Amino acid sequence: MNSFLGLELAPPLLRAISDEGYTTPSPIQEKSIPALLKGKDLLGVAQTGTGKTAAFALPLLHRIAANGNKSLPRKPRALILAPTRELAGQINDSLKAYGRNLPLRSSAVFGGASIRPQIKLLAKGVHIIVATPGRLLDLMNQGHIQLDAVEIFILDEADRMLDMGFIPDVKKITAALPQLRQTVMFSATMPKSIQGLADGLLKEPVRVEVSPGATTAEKVEQKVLFVAKEKKRALITELMTDENIERVLVFTRTKHGADRVARHLEQSGIKSAAIHGNKSQNTRQRALDSFRSGKIRALVATDIAARGIDVDGVTHVINFDLPNEPESYVHRIGRTARAGEKGIALSFCDHEERGCLRDIEKVIRQTVPVKEDHPFHAADIANYFGQSKDSAQGKKRYGKRRNNSHRPRRSSRKAA
């Protein structure tokens, strides 16, 4: 489809889309919007950066506006659940941008911020609530919100809900929803537990999948750098001398690790900040705003804190620590190469992380090429991993010629 005009969205929405600078729907939008406008349940399998927020936000705004009902105190007509406060805030920002020409009100409610302003907004009445599970349950238990008027329920990033242990909370919330409703679920991966949740929530859903589950963005150039654990900070400093690394998101496994890396980068003269669960919401928002505006070059984050970060122009993702959960790798590198742009993902792998790398390659169904042209290349780790250039596996990973090492490798057909 060449234009949003063919999706039969309301003129006020089309004007807002045009104001945002969009002209052509992405594949996930083209496949999802017609089904959602018809009121069908939908299961969407899509990575971050594919335009999935607009895929559910636009038909949601269209349908709520078309019904023409006024908002009721403490009784939203649509509910969107998101795993993190950052993602909830960004979804609400998108709703406000796309719905700027509509007489609709939306609000985000999440922890880490004062509950009183959120209670006041709910008392005034809003059409759409975007919420994290914990804060929503608090508001429900205190009687500040009722879900019996919800017509449309959207569960975003369901696999991350699972990773963060929110599924019991999600089930408590869905039990309070009307049986007669439209339900939408999006997930980047589809493990059995998420498929089971979908089976219980969705009724004869349309399934939309823009790429195979757990594959990585096609335009992300991936490399692994074998390095001793104690040399990682020296390596990231060396990498940051490359001016092509204009805006980089760095992932660590722990909160303290994020602080240490950010502090090290700052001491090396690289403007940086860390975000994680121990930071206040205001501190996290300031760091994110500075990263988005270009005041800082590197944002160091844990998986949970980074979930929902939607910043244009992230040129690189650096996995300072490999994730324990291989699916998290997919989410991490999806922070770059967004909106059709290219991006580079560099992953450090020390001796203890060899198993993590193997698991990642099983999930993404491809071999990550090695980048060894750096001063801290750990040949012993590479050789132990079976990746010396002279080995059969090494030839597969490194390629016949060094300047071919960036090319994608043949995918394995074995299941993850």
What domains sit in the chain, N to C, each tagged with a CATH number? Answer: 4-209 (3.40.50.300), 220-404 (3.40.50.300)
User: pLDDT value at position 255?
Assistant: 92
* Phi, psi at 382, each rounded to 5°: -60, -45
User: pLDDT value at position 406?
Assistant: 35
What pLDDT, in 10s, does the model give residues 206-229?
Answer: 999 886 544 555 678 999 999 999
Token readout for 397 is 């990973």
Q: Are 126 and 89 in contact (CB under 8 A)?
A: no
What pLDDT, in 10s, does the model give residues 72-127?
Answer: 999 999 999 999 888 899 899 999 999 999 999 999 999 988 999 999 999 999 99
3-state secondary structure the chain: CCCHHHHCCCHHHHHHHHHCCCCCCCHHHHHHHHHHHCCCCEEEECCCCCCHHHHHHHHHHHHHHHHCCCCECCECCEEEECCCHHHHHHHHHHHHHHCCCCCCCEEEECCCCCHHHHHHHHHHCCCEEEECHHHHHHHHHCCCCCCCCCCEEEECCHHHHHHCCCHHHHHHHHHCCCCCCEEEEEECCCCHHHHHHHHHHCCCCEEEECCCCCCCCCCEEEEEEECCHHHHHHHHHHHCCCCCCCCEEEECCCHHHHHHHHHHHHHCCCCEEEECCCCCHHHHHHHHHHHHHCCCCEEEECHHHHCCCCCCCCCEEEECCCCCCHHHHHHHHCCCCCCCCCEEEEEEECHHHHHHHHHHHHHHCCCCCECCCCCCCCHHHHHHCCCCCCCHHHHHHHCCCHHHCCCCCCCCCCCC
Give the pairing type, strands 182-187 and 42-45. parallel
pTM score above 0.85: no
> What order do you get walking across the sheet with 248-251 strand by strand?
220-226, 343-349, 316-319, 248-251, 298-301, 272-275
pLDDT by 10s per residue, the chain, length 416: 568 988 989 999 999 999 888 888 989 999 999 999 999 999 999 876 678 999 999 999 999 999 877 899 999 999 999 998 888 998 999 999 999 999 999 999 999 889 999 999 999 999 999 999 999 999 999 999 999 999 999 999 998 888 788 999 999 999 999 999 999 999 988 888 899 999 999 999 999 988 654 455 567 899 999 999 999 999 999 999 999 999 999 999 999 999 999 999 999 999 999 998 788 878 888 998 999 999 999 999 998 766 667 788 899 999 999 998 887 888 889 888 776 678 999 999 999 999 999 989 988 888 999 999 999 999 988 887 665 444 444 555 545 443 333 333 333 333 22
User: pLDDT value at position 291?
Assistant: 94
Say which residues have a Cβ less than 8 Å from residue 54's Cβ, sequence separation at least 6.
Answer: 17, 22, 26, 29, 94, 98
CA 191 to chain centre: 17
249 strand-pairing partners: 299, 317
343 strand-pairing partners: 220
The span from the first CA to the last CA of the chain, in angstroms, equals: 33
Token readout for 398 is 């490194």
User: pLDDT value at position 130?
Assistant: 98
User: pLDDT value at position 219?
Assistant: 76
User: pLDDT value at position 362?
Assistant: 85
